[in-house]
Amino acid sequence: MLKFITFSVKVQLNVHDLNNEAVAGNVTDIRIMEFLDEMGGKVEATAVSGRMLKHWHYEGMRKLGSAQGLPFCDACKIGEPVRPAKLENNILSHKNAVAEGQVAVIQKCAICDIHGYLAAIAGEGRGGRRTSEEGEEEQEGVSERRSSRVMFSWLMPVLGGEFSSRQVIHSRVKSGISFDDKNLTSQMPFHKSYGSGIYAFVSALDIDRIGLVELNLGSPNPYAVDDNSGRKQRIKVALEAYRLMLSGQLGASLSHAVPHVNPLEILVAYSETGPLPFPVSPIYPDYISKTVGLMPENTTLLYLGSETPTGVVKKNTINEVFDEILSKVA
């Protein structure tokens, strides 16, 4: 059974709009990040935050999980980022969902389980009201945190490569017929930036802690969800969500800017015995040999790409990579 897996991905993305992280008025600019090359020289290029990559993994889990009937809380069902939540009388209640306790939250929602959550609720919550020494009633807040089982780096350009971004003007084509509402203008031009380059990211999935309630460690079964109650299905959906990301299902403008994606290299490291270190990033040229040299015994490394490195099992297709890792969850 898989306990931990890491992904190192090198991917070419042409004409992408992977973030809307720098928006000002009707100008949507792509995020530019500063970083250092191997010689310590400063580089500036388009980059996408790890929050954004995690969001696209979340969206992948939502799509695949709802098709398979995985349980989601009412926030995760609709993609509301404040999670968990319960829909009561058509209003989302974060407080009432958290008040049911971590075991219930995890059992009811595969995303809250795997992507974690941070609940900081001021005022009366699960702790209820209590009376202070002076006899005044105080409201006690609720604070609960579940760390994410999935972890992402930023998406960064591979060092030494070319990358570019360009701003273009879009405008909607008017039909010629007027609206009754004079405030509706259909021809407002707007600016958007698109980037192109060879990028890399690393990600890790702490499979052993899916379904686990840390507070219950030491008890006979610290898992709120076990292999007989859908835990394996959650793991498979979390793994399959990476396949969607590798196909370019990431980005803020999928309706009109699906990136021209070409997965160049994928290095997977997995363990059936325990947690693994994070891999060396594919933004560096010697990342494969360094990752092979970093991973402990009992790690299996799978590689898809044009190199023929030692210490890895070479795969020919993304399907072959996923067939092997999914077979370790069966």
Q: Residue numbers of the site for Zn ion (CB under 5 A)?
A: 73, 76, 83-84, 109, 111-112
β-strand pairing of 313-314 with 299-304: parallel
Q: Which is nearer to Zn ion, 83 or 231 (CB)?
A: 83
Q: For residues 247 and 268, what is the distance between their CA atoms, to the nearest angstrom?
A: 16
Q: Which is nearer to Zn ion, 202 or 237 (CB)?
A: 237
Cβ 111 to Zn ion shortest distance, Å: 5
User: Residue 73 to residues 32, 58, 109: CA-CA distances in angstroms?
Assistant: 35, 13, 5
Residues 121 and 142: beta-carbon distance below 8 Å: yes
Cβ 317 to Zn ion shortest distance, Å: 33
Task: Return all residues near 107 (Cβ < 8 A) that are at least 6 apart.
Answer: 71, 224, 225, 229
Q: Which is nearer to Zn ion, 31 or 146 (CB)?
A: 146
Cβ 94 to Zn ion shortest distance, Å: 10
Cβ 58 to Zn ion shortest distance, Å: 10
Q: Which is nearer to Zn ion, 84 or 125 (CB)?
A: 84
Q: Which is nearer to Zn ion, 73 or 207 (CB)?
A: 73
Helix (H, G, I), strand (E, B) or coil at 108: helix
Cβ 99 to Zn ion shortest distance, Å: 15
Cβ 54 to Zn ion shortest distance, Å: 14
Query: For residue 312, which of 274, 275, 273, 265 has the smallest C-alpha distance?
Result: 265
Residues 94 and 82: beta-carbon distance below 8 Å: yes
β-strand pairing of 91-93 with 260-271: unpaired
Q: Which is nearer to Zn ion, 64 or 112 (CB)?
A: 112
CA terminus-to-terminus distance, the chain: 8
